[in-house]
Amino acid sequence: MTTAPTRTRERSDTGLVACLAFAALTGAIVAGLGSPIVFEVAQDRDVAIPDAQWSLIVTLIVGVVGTPVLSRLADGRLRRNLLVVALLLVAGGSALALVPTFPALLAARCFQGFGYAMVPLTVSIAREQLSGPVLARTLGVLSTSVAVGVGLGNPAIGLCVMVGGYRAAFVLALVVAGSAAWWVWRRVPVSGEGVGEVRIDLPGALLLGSALTATLLFVARGDIWGWTSAPVLALAGVGGLLLAAWVVVELRTREPLVDLRLTCARGVLGVNVAAFLLGIGVFGGATVVILVVQRPVETGVGLGQSVFVTGLLMLPMAVASLVSPPWARAAERVVGSRSVLAFGSLLVSAAFGFFVLWHDTWWHVAVMMLLFGIGIGFAYSVMPAIIVARTPENRTASATGINQVLRLMGGAVGAAIVAAVLSTYTPVGAVHPHEVGYEVAASFSCGGALLAAVISRLLLPRRYEPAADRDGGVAEAPDAPIV
């Protein structure tokens, strides 16, 4: 018979899981505002689509730098407070977006980049407060929150845009992020006294942010300024030198921003490389699909749908990525994480390959989104379990933060590549690129996901030996050999 304390603990765990899931979904919804509104921003602010694309890229840049900073701090006793602060920063960015200028929008999207830190922050809290099967299920939910949040939030965002313009969507984001901050403050327990303090590697953060900004400018502006022009070559050189300096600093720093040794540890390197390559496909490819869906029919290419309908077409992705993690965990027990991650990546690659060939009607997009969602659900749901199984508890936030950063770095590179490709195929003085530009951009996304599948098979070990958890158990890391 279930005792009263057990029932109380179950209700308490359910409430905590719901709170963490809402916080993670909030970050995903707000951080995902960039892609659906790119076309609206281009029209409203009278800028070219490649320029409007930077409302997505700047969010990824801030996410890449801000996520490891917050994740490193979350290895200390400030986990709950940091989650609240991140949500408030996202809410503040939503308020700033109401200022009717393009620079203000870019600044607002920078603040919203902290929304990408929700996954490692919530994962670290979940590992501290939960255990056993509840922890395993929670990790699957949190890891796929980006896809679920974007898919579920886009119809609501689209409805706001249809009624009150793209700024109305930021009003909704402001309310949701503020509500999440209040709920987390009231519901999430403070970390125990055994959790120590941490220090932040500011030189590492500055070097990483500068290196990534220079590299992305090189990729996104190469075609516009000329690949052999002095500014572009200078950006490439500066980006490479800063990145090399960052690696040296991180290896010599006692408490680095990104623990490169942990990143490259056996059993972790494969999943991190796969996360980077899959990020190229997921972020870049999703942007291409949304642009095609929203492009006016009279241009000869595109479906001419509103942001609201675009959001509805993304619902198959959200539903599929929400229901597929249990299937992924069942498959893990049979074939192991390596095969599950590779299978998910292959489905993502197949989705964009399908889109390259067929993108003329709404059902083409719906089928593509369904494949995309199942692939994300399989691939992303096993990543945290692999990392948690190989990481001490006091480094959970940093380790999952590294994986999240690599997803974002891949996403930033993918978004910049898409911007460069579309710019290449956009005639001088025109707003929209030729159809082949969308096909080439989607092919890059297809290739990135395909490489992620190959890396998963080559670099991930056949077996995982879970590290001991505080209660003697970890997430459901696979221990069956790969066949």
- What's residue 40's pLDDT? 75
On whether the CB atoms of residues 392 and 467 are closer than 8 A, the answer is yes
Q: What is the pLDDT of residue 10?
A: 55
What share of residues in the chain are helix, strand, coil (percent, to 5)?
80, 0, 20
Q: Output the DSSP codes for 442-464.
A: HHHHHHHHHHHHHHHHHHS-S--
Which pair of tokens denotes residue 362? 């709404």
pLDDT (tens, 9 = 90+) of the chain, 483 residues, equals 445 555 555 556 778 888 998 888 887 777 667 666 777 777 777 777 767 777 877 887 787 778 777 877 777 677 888 899 999 999 999 899 888 888 888 888 888 888 878 888 888 888 888 877 788 778 777 877 766 766 666 777 777 777 877 788 888 889 989 999 999 998 888 875 545 566 777 888 888 878 877 877 776 666 667 778 888 889 889 988 998 998 899 888 887 877 777 777 777 888 889 989 998 888 788 888 888 888 888 877 888 887 778 778 888 887 888 788 888 888 888 888 888 999 999 999 999 999 999 988 889 999 999 999 899 889 888 887 788 777 776 676 677 777 877 887 787 778 778 878 888 888 877 778 888 889 999 998 999 999 999 998 887 776 544 443 433 333 333 333 333
CB-side neighbour CA atoms (13 Å) of 127? 35
Separation CA 252–CA 31 (nearest Å): 33
The model's pLDDT over 149-174, given as tens digits with 9 standing for 90+, comes to 666 667 777 777 778 777 888 888 89
Q: How many Å apart are CA 192 and CA 248, to the nearest integer? A: 34
Class of domain 12-188+255-459: mainly alpha
Structure-block tokens of residue 228: 């052999």
pLDDT for res 1: 47
- Number of C-alpha atoms within 13 angstroms, CB side, residue 17? 18
DSSP H/E element including 205: helix 202-225
Summarize pLDDT for 87-130 with one digit per residue, the tens. 999 999 989 988 888 888 888 888 888 887 888 888 888 888 88
For the chain, domain boundaries: 12-188+255-459, 202-254
User: Cβ contacts of residue 252 below 8 Å, gap of 6+?
Assistant: none
CA distance 205 to 216: 16
